[in-house]
Amino acid sequence: MNAQPNESLSQQWFSKFKYICVPLLEKSHLSAGTIAAVLPLLSNLESTLLDAGETGFSLSQSLVSYIFFPLSTILRRNELSAIPDQILERIFGVLAILCETWWWYCDVQIWDQIFKLCSSIIGGVEGKGKGKVRDDETKEAAARCLWAILRERRAEEAPQDSPEELLHTRISQLQAHSQSLQFMPVLGQTINTLLLTAKSPHLPLQRISLKIMRALIGVYASEQFLPSILPGVVSSMTRIALGMSSKKGWVNGDIVALSLETLEPVIVKSLGDDVSIREGVVRSVVDLEDFINLAGAPAVDPKPSELPPYLTPRTSSWLRASASQLHIAINSLTLLVNHPTPLALVALSSFSRAILASTHLTLPQSRPLLLSFLLSLSSCAFPEVSQAAHHALSELLATASNARLPLLQALLEISKENLSSLPRSISSQDDTKVEHIAGQIEAICRLATSSSTPPTGLSLTSISSGIETLLGPTGGIEKWGFTLLSVLEFTSPQVTVGQGSIAQLLLEDDADNPDTVNFPEAILKNVLAKPTRDALARMLRALGRSSGENSIYAVEWFVRTGCYSRTNNAVAALWCAARLLEGICGFSLDEGGMAISSGPRSRKLERFARGLARDLTELWDEESDLDSQTDTPRTDRQTDDSLLKTEFTKGFKTIRATLQVAEPRATLPTLSEEQPVLHKIFCLQLLSISAGILQARYASVLIQVLYPVLHSIVSPTPHLSLTGLATLHFMSAVMSYASPANLLLSNFDYALDSVSRRLSRRWLDVDATKVMAVLVRLVGADVVQKAGDVVEECFDRLDEYHGYEVIVQGLVGVLGEVIKVIEAEEPPTKKEGWDDMQSSMIVRSLDPLFEWLTHRKDLPPHEDTPDYGPAPQRAWGATKADEESDERQSDGPTTHVKVAEDAEPAPTPGQALTKQMVSRSIYFLTHASPVIRARILTLLSSATPVLPESALLPSIHQAWPFILNRLNDAEPFVVSAAAGLVESLVTHVGNFMGRRVWDDVWPRFSSILKQLDASDDQNALARRGYGAVGTESAYTHSHRLYRSILRTMTAAVAGVHMQDTSSWQVILAFRRFLHKQAHEELQACARELYVTLGKGNEDAVWLALMATCGRLTGEVTYLREYKWDIQDNVRVILNE
């Protein structure tokens, strides 16, 4: 039943093809008139064949022969050179479609004729002599037709109802024909032609040519024939892959992949181990019998059998020559490691794996080169490339084959050579070479880790054991370690880029700020590119990770070398130790503390981490003069081998014309100032890594570690300060603290004790006060609970070191930090309210006066009180004593109630602490140092809003003469601080400051204004211009002093009744600040002052300001000031 529909379908398609083939056969003899008719017929035939293939219709053998007949007639009846390119292109397009089906059952001779036809068109050899040069599109069509009869088929593509062995049988038939001696010249000519077209700029022709060549070499060419074409194919494929024939840059990734896929089979089938062993060129030695056969092998090659002249026999000499040339060609492919496309890199990985697996006996000199390809590709940024290369290495090294041991040995040799050449590459500043070497060592270490062990069960223990030996006691680290350290010279970056800075410490107590601080990066002088520096760091981490705890010896050696001095070698040693230790622990400081797993650590590693932390913290305790530090360590330690200079001189030695017999000693290089800083930076990194190892168990060494970390934070060097802050953040994260403030608060006693020990006469560190200040600032509001100990410690040290200006200045700074914290946390105390004196003195209405005048003589109102007659005034029988007793009893409870009502609330801990600081610090108002005097005044200003009047005013009253003397101080910043204190007192305790302002402060302010007016004329920061007032910057001492005086007088005017004389002086003295050329802040303060003055004496303010503007005439014209433009501010003050 199915036969009839199939037969009818075949008849339908046959009719369609007949409708085309019959006229095509009639016009098979091409001429000028028939060419125009043949082209559409061929196009229609090609489209019809495509439609038949899309519908699933399979062409029968007879139908294929029927369609082929008119095509063959055209080719027979016309000279090939006379057929136009367009006709040939259509013919080859139809033939390519037919051959997809015809390949399975066509006669071998037909296959041969189609092969020769396509080859002749591609190569331009059409008959005798030189053929016609066809265009690239025609050659592409011929190549596609040739590809249709050469491509490898799958069993699923076989026709229906065909035997299962049809594919194998068909390939065997075609291979037998293509490998015959008669067909070999044709095959050779075709390959030669394809080598030329593979270099064509026409990309489709180039791609199809490479595909055909790969199929010919891999399937149809015999092993005896391939040695003859090996040089040409290798040379052409390498040139194509590298793009030597064009100047456009990198070749397309698919072209590189096809070139390498073509190069792989020709090398494997020409010089592979299997074919070479069969030919007797090399011998494989696996067991004792192979050794016996090797001993009895002839010394010379046997005479090869007679071969045609176009075949090359395989001999030992041929193998040596070919292997040498092939090594040069493979070496030229090194550039492909940096190809930008993953397709090309994956192809290079596959090519290297295949060559290594098949030629370990014939190409031993290329083994390290191919392994380096795979090692470099395993570190590629493309995941598919790195995975493919890593999988290839794992398969090669884990497979139980003869190639495994040579490859493992080659890997160890590569590691040794790379480590020995790394210092030379670094010193020559060859960043590309350094990154390449570091990447290869990292890839080798990655192979040795347990996570990369392949599923075959064969671990790469030899690699890991080799690395363990290298980093162990017998690895000779004393030799290669010093060589590496001698070329690693670090320097701090010119600009530190990071979110963390000293300014960030001011926001440290902000709980909403979860950002962590990253460790800043140090710069290598001999390594310019950042990727290269990262590659070196990854290399050391990989070495530590692959060897595990067995590399602790190397870390200890680097740490010992780094602790000897602050030289370049010591700094580099600490950096190497930090990177190795990161690899051992399995984390990096760049990842942050939150990314560290809390898995268990071995006791050996934890014990080493504790000892390392204690040893490093002792470096901060050593009192060494870094300025006189030299490159030589102390004499009781071993000599640094890097200082033994090896010198090569050529020529004659110069004779010195001097009587000195001894040779002049070479001067050692001076130590740069930044090396001690870098030394501390890498010590902090090692402390952070030790914290990452111990995690919560790190608390046992915090008493030694906290001071070095905090000491680094207060460093004036931004790079070191940021590293210290990053270390503190990292420690708090790995120890499971929410923030550094919580860490310091939990261990506050440790930190305070470490600071106290460094403020003793036995052990005095001038930076200890800065550490205490930053400790208070970091802890923030919670420090109030512990601040009593801090304050007590500060005053104890002030009593002991009051004559040392630097220490006293630092201790006062600590007290200032405590006051700032208390001021931020304590609510402002309620002061006694004081009325606005100026407003209360002004009479707004006379109605009360008129009311009083009207009723001043009225009698008081009559009260109707009943007359009860005479009555006793006290109880009968009560005596005077009883009366007094009753009076005392009645007055007792009332008195107690009154006292209870008038009693002040108990002071808070912060207020009690502030009172203690104020009472004990006022004595330093007369200190010889102006900085300390200014800081004490600032401290008192900050304490004023915190303390209640009962606690504050006794101390202020006692210190008032000293405060007044500070207003006459020789240093402007001290005067400014004193004015700030007066401003704070007037603002918060106005009743107390009432008369003191006008009697004591205002005369001094008046003289200060005159002095500032004269000094501004000589100040470089003073505003320039006619009538200019003040300075340009708002941060000068004179500006701050102006601002404090204005605010103080504003508060005094509002709270104290002043005489008209003083009022008039104030009005005239501050007119200059209404000038529009004055600073905006000073103008705003002056406007506020005059508005307040206007509330008490509006007429005087109006008179003075209007006269100054020139709006009044008469006796007040002397107040006119032409140099001040105050019109705008006067309008605002008078509400005009």
The whole-number average pLDDT for the span 243-267 is 87
Give the pLDDT confidence score for residue 494 in this predicted structure: 65
Greater model confidence, 1095 or 331: 331
Are 178 and 221 contacting, i.e. CB atoms less than 8 angstroms apart?
A: yes
Whether residue 886 has pLDDT greater than 60: no
Predicted confidence at residue 78, as pLDDT, reads 87
Average pLDDT along the chain: 79
Q: Which helix (H) or strand (E) holds 524?
A: strand 523-524
Per-residue pLDDT of 702-756, as tens digits, reads: 888 888 988 888 888 888 888 888 899 898 888 888 888 888 888 888 887 877 7
Cβ neighbour number for residue 133 with a 10 Å cutoff: 9
- pLDDT, residue 873, reads 54
- CB burial of 554-585 (b: ≥16 within 10 Å; e: otherwise) equals bbebbbebbbbbbbbbbbbbbbbbbbbbbbbb
Categorise residue 510: left if φ over 0, alpha if ψ from -120 to 50, beta otherwise.
beta
What tens digit of pLDDT does each residue of 29-65 get?
888 888 888 888 888 988 988 888 888 788 888 888 8
pLDDT band at 519 (very low <50, low <70, confident <90, very high): confident
pLDDT at 1132: 86
Provide the pLDDT confidence category of residue 342 given band limits of 50, 70 and 90: very high
Spatial distance between the Cα atoms of 949 and 947, rounded to a whole number of angstroms: 6
pLDDT of 1074 above 80: yes
Burial zone of 744 (CB within 10 Å; 0-12 exposed, 13-18 middle, 19+ buried): buried
Strand 523-524 to 490-491 pairing: antiparallel
- Joined together, the tokens standing for residue 346 give 């994956």
pLDDT at 324: 93
The pLDDT assigned to 214 comes to 93
Indicate the residue type of 1029.
Answer: V
Written in H, E and C, the secondary structure of 598-643 is: CCCCCHHHHHHHHHHHHHHHHHHCCCCCHHHCCCCCCCCCCCCHHH
> In this structure, are residues 930 and 973 in contact, taking their beta carbons and an 8 Å threshold?
yes
Cα torsion for 760, 764, 770, 771, to the nearest 10°?
Answer: -70
Residues 6+ apart with CB under 8 A from 888: none
Per the structure block, which two tokens stand in for 695?
């995690």
Averaged pLDDT for residues 426-436: 88
Q: Summarize the confidence of residues 887-907 as an average pLDDT.
A: 50
Residue 132, both tokens: 């016609």
SS (H, E, C) 852-874: HHHHCCCCCCCCCCCCCCCCCCC
Q: What is the reported pLDDT for 161? A: 75
pLDDT the model gives residue 956: 83
- What does residue 571 show for φ and ψ, rounded to 5 degrees? -65, -45
Q: What digits encode the pLDDT tens for the residues 835-859?
A: 444 544 455 566 777 777 777 777 7
In degrees and rounded to multiples of 5, residue 668 shows phi and psi of: -75, 145
Query: How confident is the model at residue 1062, as a pLDDT?
Result: 80
The 3-state DSSP class for residue 252 equals coil
Split at pLDDT 50, 70, 90, the class of 639 is very low
Q: Which helix (H) or strand (E) holds 346?
A: helix 342-358
Residue 631 pLDDT: 40
The pLDDT of residue 897 = 43
**715 CB-side CA count, 13 A:** 23
Q: Report how far residue 691's alpha carbon sits from residue 609's, in angstroms, rounded to the nearest whole number.
A: 8
In angstroms, the CA 568 to CA 524 distance is 11
Sign of the Cα torsion 46, 51, 56, 61 reads negative
What pTM was computed for the model? 0.74
β-partners of residue 764 are 759
By residue count, the chain amounts to 1136
Look at 453 and 463; give whichever has higher pLDDT: 463
HSE-CB for 978 with a 13 A CA cutoff: 28
Q: Is the pLDDT of residue 681 over 70?
A: yes
638: Cβ contacts below 8 Å, ≥ 6 apart: none
Report DSSP state, residue 490: E
Instruction: For the chain, state the CA radius of gyration.
Output: 50
At 211 the pLDDT is 93
> Tell me, what's the pLDDT at 330?
93
Residues with Cβ within 8 Å of residue 108, at least 6 apart in sequence:
173, 174, 177
- Identify the pLDDT of residue 744: 85
CB 699, CB 735: distance < 8 Å: yes
Min mean pLDDT across 252-261, 345-354, 559-568, 571-580 is at 559-568
Can you give the three-state secondary structure of 1078-1114, one letter per residue?
A: CCHHHHHHHHHHHHHHHHHCHHHHHHHHHHHHCCCCC
Instruction: For residue 32, give every residue at least 6 positions away whose Cβ sits within 8 Å of its Cβ, in sequence order, or none.
Output: none
Q: Which of 150, 222, 234 is nearest to 188 (CA)?
A: 222
Q: Is 488 left (phi over 0), alpha (psi -120 to 50) or beta?
A: beta
Rounded CA gap, 854 and 1074, in Å?
47
To the nearest whole percent, how much of the chain has pLDDT over 70? 78
Greater model confidence, 948 or 651: 948
CB burial of 918-948 (b: ≥16 within 10 Å; e: otherwise) equals: bebbbebbebebbbbbbbbbbbbbbbbbbbb
Task: Assess contact for 195 and 143: CB atoms under 8 A.
Answer: no
Least Cα distance to 271 among 361, 333, 176, 169 occurs for: 361
Identify the residue whose tokens are 């990655």. 446
